[in-house]
């Protein structure tokens, strides 16, 4: 794992016997958290993908629990094949229940997911669990794939460079060298599910009962961004009390590593404020 930020520490969750490595960051000054944000990384990465998000969230009174998904980090040896996305959601629910037994989670848990982590966040929102969920914010996860992306490389290198990054000037100097520390092999069971996602989404969408915000980067290349496709995606979230779809200018797929990260993170936390107000 990369060097941790001030105020963040390594943390291990016991998810029904599965150890999940994570980063835990609590609000500044020891104040009780207003909420807990479960930050879920994408394919082939680690929890530190969220390093640039953590200081802003904690400064506004939220705890952040950035987790290495099942099959990554400390659970990789126990789960060498990884878990299916729905299984990962069950594991995360168990982890949240364990975390809530020892820590104040505030008003509840807000799900934040990127790419395949956004898929897991949607599965988590659709499944039942013992911890209250406030809302879900996902970036880089759509409904139907861009036909040009159908070769599906499993890593952030090789032929996936354009898909994962977009134009290189969208990122600060040194990003690509620094991001090597975030990389991790993608578990086989996760890779095997890629082509199944459109059908999975159709099955789970009407079981998501919390507010949802979906963000697509201007230079998002993985997904079909045709208005009709995105309208079909949001229309399936029939049980969600609020669905918002946004496009972020001057950003590539890995939004939280680029120059647009601060703008995106502020919008995430604004949406969380809306969810807290609605809950209150």
Residues with Cβ within 8 Å of 275's Cβ and at least 6 positions away in sequence, in order, are: 110, 134, 135, 210, 211
- CA-CA distance, 38 to 134, in Å (whole number)? 11
Q: Are 184 and 191 in contact, with CB atoms under 8 Å apart?
A: no
Q: What is the tens place of the pLDDT at every residue in 218-276?
A: 999 999 999 999 999 999 999 999 999 999 999 999 999 999 999 999 999 999 999 99
**Model confidence at 70, in pLDDT bands (50, 70, 90)?**
very high
**Model confidence at 159, in pLDDT bands (50, 70, 90)?**
low
Q: What is the pLDDT of residue 277?
A: 96
CATH architecture of the domain with range 8-279: 3-Layer(aba) Sandwich (3.40)
- CA-CA distance, 191 to 228, in Å (whole number)? 27
Tell me the pTM: 0.94
Q: Report the helix count and the strand count for the chain, using DSSP H and E.
A: 9, 8
- CA-CA distance, 43 to 160, in Å (whole number)? 12
Helix, coil or strand: residue 141:
coil
**Domain regions of the chain by residue span:** 8-279
What's 145's DSSP letter? B
> Which of 195-225 are b and which e, b meaning 16 or more Cβ less than 10 Å from the residue's Cβ?
eebeebbeebbebbebbbbbbbbbbbbbbbb
């Amino acid at each position: 794992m990369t060097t941790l930020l001030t105020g963040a520490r390594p943390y291990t969750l016991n998810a029904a016997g599965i150890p999940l490595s994570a980063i835990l960051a609590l609000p500044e000054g020891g104040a009780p958290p207003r909420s807990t944000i479960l930050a879920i990384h994408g394919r082939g990465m680690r929890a530190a993908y969220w390093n640039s998000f953590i200081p802003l969230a904690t400064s506004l009174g939220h705890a952040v629990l950035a987790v290495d998904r099942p099959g990554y980090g400390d659970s990789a040896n126990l789960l060498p094949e990884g878990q299916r996305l729905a299984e990962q959601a069950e594991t995360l629910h168990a982890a949240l229940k364990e975390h809530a037994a020892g820590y104040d989670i505030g008003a509840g848990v807000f799900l934040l997911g990127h790419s395949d982590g956004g898929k897991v966040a949607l599965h988590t929102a659709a499944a039942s669990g013992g911890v209250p969920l406030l809302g879900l914010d996902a970036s880089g996860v759509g409904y139907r794939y861009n036909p040009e992306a159908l070769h599906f490389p499993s890593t952030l290198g090789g032929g996936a460079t354009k898909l994962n990054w977009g134009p290189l000037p969208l990122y600060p100097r040194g990003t690509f060298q620094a991001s090597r520390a975030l990389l991790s092999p993608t578990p086989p069971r996760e890779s095997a599910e890629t082509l199944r996602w459109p059908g999975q989404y159709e099955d789970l969408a009407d079981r998501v009962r919390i507010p949802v915000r979906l963000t697509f980067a201007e230079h998002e290349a993985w997904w079909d961004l045709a208005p009709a496709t995105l309208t079909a995606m949001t229309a399936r979230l029939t049980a969600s009390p609020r669905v918002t779809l946004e496009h972020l200018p001057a950003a590539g797929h890995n939004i939280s590593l680029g120059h647009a990260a601060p703008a995106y993170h502020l919008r995430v936390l604004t949406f969380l404020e809306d969810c807290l107000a609605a809950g209150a």
